[in-house]
Amino acid sequence: MVGRLAGRFVGLGITGSIAAFKAVDLLRLLRAEGADVQVLMTPSATRFVAPLTLAALSRRHVDAEVLDLLPDGRIGHVLTADAADAVVVAPATAHWLGAMAHGLAADVVTATCLATAAPVVVAPAMDGDMYAHPATQANVAILRDRFGYAIVEPESGALASGQLGPGRLADLGTIVDAVVAAIGDRPVRRPDPADRPPRLAGAAAARLARDGDDLAGRHVVVTAGGTAEPIDPVRFIGNRSTGTMGVAVAEAARDRGARVTLVAGMVTVPLPDEVEVVRAETATAMREALHGLLGTPGGGPGFDVLVMAAAVADFRPAAPADRKLPRTEAGLRLELVANPDILAEIGRVVRGLDEAGAAAGRPFRPRPVLVGFAAETGSLARAADKLARKRVDLLVANDVAEEGSGFGTPTNRVTILAAGGAEEALPLLAKREVAERILDRVVAALDARDAAAQTGPDEPPQETSVP
């Protein structure tokens, strides 16, 4: 399912409580919901949990010094405050609650909360007597009643002091729920990712950032390989697809943080680890598998992205034999019937259209991003027509007759066509690199879709230019 915080930018403020270590898991949970997270720490929090851990998990520099500027001269906490859809402070210490209640902006967490118009969620954690003290309670009341912050009350349980009582950081799932509730259906505050603090810099960090997270919280379904249409129990009609391109897309999506389901036809390359594999060796089985994954318009789509890299047979034997056909001198005549165009069908279903293209049901909200492939020989002239006919957002066309492109090669030269009419011819690249380029466009399409969903129009804007 789509993460509840997909497309959102969340500031995670961590202050110096023993419970600070739990913020690592809270960060993971926020990211699993699809949030882009900027970690903010007070100096004492950095003594409980290493900023490096949080930087690696968030793919962003941790902002822990209120007087430090970003490498480009901008002020980190102001940038985070402006762009954040929510700020969550967990754990919040007694000291921090006091500073916040009185607007003492000596650390980035307080400074960000003061500077933001986004909802703020605060989860205190401390010794039970400290929490019960009238000073703490008065500060909590100011945050809640005067500032409108959502307070996620601490729970009772064993405390670090050895005591038993209230003061333990609330359940992390409850804190995530509070962030989701606080944002509600507010529009994304700064839909342009360029308005957010920069991601980690440097070659290795850039790789980490690119591979690490921009599909976190997304469910990506990839089909790969050819289909095998049975003639009899041992023979089939197949094609030369090996599954290399689809597997490369599945691996790249996985490495960029997506949950990946690989619908595998006849694949001769090794299948990737850590992706869910669904076997579907015929066009009919592939169609069923995809409809099973699709979800319902009311319940939302079961996936965010479909990359249809499989070479689906257009025809299948009309009546496959139950038993192996014996050899005869007379030869064999096969009658073939057309397979459904799976991608075109999904393109219609997600828009609530019938076969004639007329409105027939509820469109999916949000609508999954659809990517098709077009294997051509000689010219890509038919690709634009395929894109329109199958109602896909992106069509990756390649000339399979060209040297270094097509079936079983480690490389591919493709042209990516976008629904708005833009076209980009890529050079000959390793298939993994082609996969990354496709996913760059998929991420942009998802961001545009989510921003549009927050700001109004029903139908995601069509991409008019390929970045």
Question: Which amino acids are annotated catalytic?
Answer: 239
Residue span binding ligand CTP (CB under 6 A) among the ranges 55-63, 132-140, 247-255, 310-318: 310-318
**Sign of the dihedral defined by the CA atoms of residues 274, 275, 276, 280, in that order:** negative
Q: Which of 6, 26, 87, 342 binds ligand CTP (CB under 6 A)?
A: 342
Closest CB to ligand CTP among 115 and 224? 224
Q: Which residue has the tokens 């634009």?
A: 384
Quick check: 100 binds ligand CTP (CB under 6 A)?
no
Residue span binding ligand CTP (CB under 6 A) among the ranges 62-70, 163-171, 304-312, 432-440: 304-312
Quick check: 417 binds ligand CTP (CB under 6 A)?
no
What tokens were used for 374?
């077009």
Report the first-to-last Cα separation within the chain, whole angstroms.
27
Quick check: 295 binds ligand CTP (CB under 6 A)?
no
- Minimum separation from the CB atom of position 373 to ligand CTP (A): 4
Q: Looking at residue 146, what DSSP letter applies? A: I
Cα separation, 331 vs 325, in Å, equals 11
Cα separation, 353 vs 361, in Å, equals 6
Number of helical (H) and strand (E) elements in the chain, helices listed first: 14, 23
How many other C-beta atoms lie within 10 A of the C-beta of residue 192? Answer: 10
Quick check: 229 binds ligand CTP (CB under 6 A)?
no
Cα separation, 418 vs 416, in Å, equals 7
Residue span binding ligand CTP (CB under 6 A) among the ranges 40-48, 115-123, 126-134, 308-316: 308-316
Closest CB to ligand CTP among 374 and 417? 374
Contact status, residue 295 vs residue 301, Cβ threshold 8 Å: yes
> Binding-site residue total for ligand CTP (CB under 6 A)?
15
- Minimum separation from the CB atom of position 284 to ligand CTP (A): 10
- Minimum separation from the CB atom of position 261 to ligand CTP (A): 15
Residue span binding ligand CTP (CB under 6 A) among the ranges 43-51, 183-191, 329-337, 371-379: 371-379
Rounded alpha-carbon distances, angstroms, from residue 414 to 383, 393, 404: 11, 16, 11
Quick check: 216 binds ligand CTP (CB under 6 A)?
no
**Which amino acid is residue 102, in one-letter code?**
H
Q: Which of 314, 423, 424, 433 binds ligand CTP (CB under 6 A)?
A: 314
Q: How many residues does the chain have?
A: 467
Contact status, residue 423 vs residue 417, Cβ threshold 8 Å: yes
Cα separation, 444 vs 313, in Å, equals 31
Quick check: 20 binds ligand CTP (CB under 6 A)?
no
Residue span binding ligand CTP (CB under 6 A) among the ranges 19-27, 305-313, 354-362, 424-432: 305-313
- Minimum separation from the CB atom of position 351 to ligand CTP (A): 16
Quick check: 118 binds ligand CTP (CB under 6 A)?
no
Contact status, residue 241 vs residue 407, Cβ threshold 8 Å: yes
3-state secondary structure of 24: helix
Quick check: 305 binds ligand CTP (CB under 6 A)?
no
Q: Looking at residue 196, what DSSP letter applies? A: S
Which residue(s) pair with 180 in the sheet?
Answer: none
Closest CB to ligand CTP among 331 and 378? 378
- Minimum separation from the CB atom of position 308 to ligand CTP (A): 4
Q: What are phi and psi of 360, to 5 degrees?
A: -135, -15
Q: Which of 154, 368, 372, 406 binds ligand CTP (CB under 6 A)?
A: 372
- Minimum separation from the CB atom of position 314 to ligand CTP (A): 5
Contact code string over 321-340 relative to ligand CTP, x by CB under 6 A: ------------------x-
Quick check: 14 binds ligand CTP (CB under 6 A)?
no
Residue span binding ligand CTP (CB under 6 A) among the ranges 33-41, 55-63, 201-209, 306-314: 306-314
- 381-410 binders of ligand CTP (CB under 6 A): 386, 390
How many other C-beta atoms lie within 10 A of the C-beta of residue 284? Answer: 15
3-state secondary structure of 425: strand
Cα separation, 318 vs 330, in Å, equals 20
Q: Which residues contact 448 (CB under 8 A, 6 or more apart)?
A: 460, 461, 463
Q: Looking at residue 426, what DSSP letter applies? A: -
* Best CA proximity match to 363, nearest among 301, 305, 297, 303: 297
Q: Which of 12, 215, 375, 448 binds ligand CTP (CB under 6 A)?
A: 375
Q: Which of 343, 418, 434, 466 binds ligand CTP (CB under 6 A)?
A: 343
Cα separation, 251 vs 258, in Å, equals 10
Quick check: 446 binds ligand CTP (CB under 6 A)?
no
- Minimum separation from the CB atom of position 388 to ligand CTP (A): 12
Element (H, E) at 29: helix 22-32
Quick check: 369 binds ligand CTP (CB under 6 A)?
no
- Minimum separation from the CB atom of position 222 to ligand CTP (A): 11
Quick check: 242 binds ligand CTP (CB under 6 A)?
no
Interacting residues with ligand CTP (CB under 6 A): 283, 308, 310, 312, 314, 339, 341-343, 372-375, 386, 390
